[in-house]
Chains A and B, each alone.
Chain A
Amino acid sequence: MSDRIFVSGNNAVARGAIQAGCKYFFGYPITPQSEIPEYMSRELPKIGGVFVQSESESGSIYMVYGGGLAGERIMTSTSSPGFSLMAEGISYLAETEIPAVIVNVMRMGPGIGTGGQGGQTDYLQVTKGCGHGGYRAIVLAPASCQEIFDLMQVAFFLADKYRTPVLLVTDFILGQMDEPIELRTLEFEPLPKKDWALTGKEKRGGNRAAHIAAFFTYGGVVNYHMKQIEKYKEIKKAEVRYETYMAEDCDLLIVAYGSSARIARGAVDMGRNKGLKLGLLRPITLWPFPAEQISQLSSKVQKVLVVEDSQGQLIEDVEASIKTSVPVHLLGMWARHNTGGGGIIHPERIIEEVEKINGK
């Protein structure tokens, strides 16, 4: 039996990373994720690791890039405005296929937004290739502290397996709430040796490693894209993750991710007690998106309701997944119980919306 402890989502990010063998963290303070660099600054030196506080999120992501090139498991974490600064570097990580894990504890934007207010307003940014060039990165969206801890381990594995940046998104609610977690180590298939890593050529029998951008490395950027297109197909086939709850016999399917999915799950229970046949599909990977699963389920229901703490971003992928004329409704940030820092969408409000669209 593994140890069980009571920790915040941010703490679970840091612990999950260390569990995965990450010993190098490069980060910059920003609310609501600063507990992650704080934890790493305290714990990494104890295990022979390194913590560097950078001068900006731009500095962080390029330290991550250098650390990834050096062949180690490395990560950074930030929140929305910082993530925008990192977008450029993530594009370079994608170009040179360097594994890295980047955590975005979202806060409501655009611009400075506010550190003290949750929100899921970075969905489009994280899923559509946040930097230039049209690359894809795997995006994991946990909904509990345990899942954060577990998916951090998955994130490092997938980053190494596919040689890609992997993004893990949480938000203010998930980052700051405390839950019990089991400190378990997940098992993964063996990974190939990183013979491409920069170590000095004497460690490679005198053969040098050189990473000189796609233009040189692939003999042209189009060749690079051809290889990525194949890789993306493979990822889409093998790595889609999602969870359903009471979706088998539902009339109305709710689609929600992260903290909104937790609330929606409560609404499903509440609705079922009132005789409403609600079900939930929660995408765990936002890319690759569970389009096929949503398509199949949506063909069996009368209505679909997307619940997200934003203006309506996830709904674009849900609508693109559905091939029938089933109506797709949206409950967004306007459904919060107040517009201040502590406003959230309560399950009761979801039920109210369901009854409204049912015409009651």
Chain B
Amino acid sequence: MINKSYDEKTHYYGKLWIWTAAIVFVFVPISICVYYNAWPPFTSVLKGLLGVAPIFWTVGAIEVITFTPMLGTGGSYLAFVTGNLTNLKVPCAINAMEINNVKPDTEEGEVVSTIAVATSSIVTTLIIAIGTLLLGTLTPILNSPVLKPAFDNILPALFGALGVVYISKNLKLAVTPMLFMVVLFVTVPSLAGSVGILVPVGAVISILMARLLYKKNII
């Protein structure tokens, strides 16, 4: 179990940072409104929000429940500020714990996951910053049609390698959610846009299956 006092302190610092971050986030639109004296009509913000908030608030809440157990305390407080969880922070933390042979929710797992998320956040921020500053030079390269297929396929490239490790280790557990998702996406391709919603669906199916197999002593 994680050392109480260190973990308590992580919660304390984490809360301090995350609430400050929330203030910093809100400071951005406020500063724009004040500086340009351009407060948008409340109704237009509300209308814009209505188009995205129902889905993104739900996905956000689900992501908190699904990913915090994998990321640990420090990793969670940081990853939910720096973002890009499914395509970067969660695979990065899980991969780092796998390499170090440690499990989430242990002292070592907490350290490794936080280091992975923090490093990944720093590198991402730096790459975006350098990229933004060198945009003139980089735009033609990044937008070149030759490279396009590489970035179009970044998720299959990531989840193929990550998937084979976890599926081969937990074959019995993985079969049902995998089959369900493949059949679902082949039948209803338009769901690809709402994959965020389907992550918890996959998690619930996977947990129910795990429970069943565990009770029957199959795993």
Query: Are both chains from one complex?
Result: no
A residues engaging B (CB < 8 A)? none
Chain B contacts to A: CB under 8 angstroms? none
